[in-house]
């Protein structure tokens, strides 16, 4: 366990050597915190360093070059500084960040969704593919273990229950998001790099480099807990869909990215892969003895699907024109 309100560190080499212990560690992390570090995750440090170098190069481009690839109706593309407000109910201005959303790639490492890509990202598509597809494969392994932990009957799908709802070729809102949080000379009151939110999908795979600022708010706590960078580790967290599916057994908790006195003069970069179910997957109860059946579910009643849920969220977080600057 890490210190402070205990963000666990899970050793993923146990996936091959001691799967029952790996499941035990994951189950504890998901039921009690919802965030955990993962070591021995399979990504080379060289690849991680290379992709951070790539995204830094992109965000250093002039604004007029980046805005050629503005986000479109597919929700992929460039999002400008302050153009997104993750916590619209409490923020007075958009997040102090810019980002680029990349969709899943096919076998030729071309985007599955037709969306223009900057030449730099096309040049580095093998590297982007390695991180993106690697994050997907890692997420699928984690979902396999979490399904085993729930003891889902084989007749209902067993260890493949989640996997069958997150097939790579399915139409989903999976996204590799690269982010840049620029330096600031002075912090405006109540300003924030990324507003308070929980993630919307099933799992998130986070790569951090050099500069921290991520904080989480554990359930039943009023104290924000720092998620510092631990060399050799990436961060995994549960999203809203998985919490809803498990009826609160696995926790999707609030988090934010804040300004720190010691990092105001440094640019912060991060990369996150958001794993989502296929858009037509209904968020119905999981057939597990650990999860109660919904008392309010009725035969024939319309159940919200994953795509509807995410689109509702996305419509709320993009700042209006008055925040564009």
In a domain, 80, yes or no: yes
Q: What is the pLDDT of residue 168?
A: 96
| Structural domain contains residue 325 | no
**Does residue 229 belong to any structural domain of this protein?**
yes
Average pLDDT over residues 149-155: 97
Residue 81 reports pLDDT greater than 70: yes
Are 77 and 101 within 8 A, CB to CB? yes
Give the pLDDT of residue 4.
42
**Residue 271 burial (C-beta neighbours within 10 Å; 0-12, 13-18, 19+):** buried
* Tally of domains within the chain: 1
Closest by alpha carbon to 252, among 24, 35, 27? 35
Write out the H or E segment, with its range, that includes residue 148: helix 125-149
Q: What band does 303 get if pLDDT is binned at 50, 70 and 90?
A: low
Measured CA distances, 55 to 41, 50, 112, 124 (Å): 22, 9, 21, 10
Percent of the chain with pLDDT over 70: 91
**2 belongs to a structural domain:** no
Instruction: Report if residue 89 sits inside a domain.
Output: yes
With bands split at pLDDT 50, 70 and 90, how would you rate the model's confidence at 176?
very high
Which residues form the domain of 45?
A: 9-318
179-198: per-residue pLDDT in tens?
999 998 777 888 899 999 99
Q: Is 152 part of a structural domain of the chain?
A: yes
Is residue 68 assigned to a domain?
Answer: yes
> Do residues 306 and 172 make contact, with C-beta atoms less than 8 angstroms apart?
yes
Q: What is the pTM of this model?
A: 0.92
Q: What is the CATH number of the domain that holds 101?
A: 2.60.120.330
Does any domain span residue 298? yes
């Amino acid at each position: 366990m890490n210190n402070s309100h205990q963000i666990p560190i899970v050793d993923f080499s146990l996936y091959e050597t001691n799967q029952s212990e790996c499941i035990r560690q994951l189950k504890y992390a998901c039921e009690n915190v919802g965030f955990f570090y993962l070591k021995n995750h399979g990504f080379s440090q060289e690849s991680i360093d290379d992709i951070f170098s790539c995204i830094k190069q992109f965000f250093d481009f002039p604004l007029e070059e980046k805005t050629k690839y503005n986000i479109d109706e597919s929700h992929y593309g460039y999002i400008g500084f302050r153009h997104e407000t993750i916590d619209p109910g409490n923020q007075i201005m958009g997040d102090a960040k810019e980002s680029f959303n990349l969709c899943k790639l096919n076998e030729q490492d071309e985007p599955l969704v037709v969306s223009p890509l900057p030449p730099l990202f096309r040049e580095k598509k093998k590297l982007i593919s390695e991180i993106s597809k690697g994050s997907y494969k890692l997420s699928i392994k984690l979902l396999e273990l979490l399904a085993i932990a729930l003891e889902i009957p084989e007749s209902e799908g067993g260890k493949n229950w989640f996997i069958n709802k997150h097939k790579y070729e399915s139409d989903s809102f999976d996204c590799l998001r690269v982010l840049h949080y620029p330096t600031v000379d002075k912090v405006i009151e109540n300003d924030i790099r990324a507003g308070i939110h929980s993630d919307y999908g099933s799992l998130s795979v986070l790569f951090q480099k050099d500069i921290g600022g991520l904080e989480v708010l554990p359930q039943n706590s009023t104290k924000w807990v720092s998620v510092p960078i631990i060399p050799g580790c990436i961060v995994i967290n549960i999203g809203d869909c998985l919490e809803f599916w498990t009826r609160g057994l696995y926790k999707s908790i609030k988090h934010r990215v804040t300004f720190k006195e010691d990092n105001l003069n440094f640019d912060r970069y991060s990369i996150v892969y958001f794993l989502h179910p296929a858009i037509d997957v209904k968020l119905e109860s999981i057939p597990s003895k650990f999860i109660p059946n919904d008392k309010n579910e009725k035969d024939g009643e319309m159940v919200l699907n994953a795509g509807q849920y995410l689109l509702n969220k996305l419509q709320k977080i993009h700042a209006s024109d008055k925040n564009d600057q």
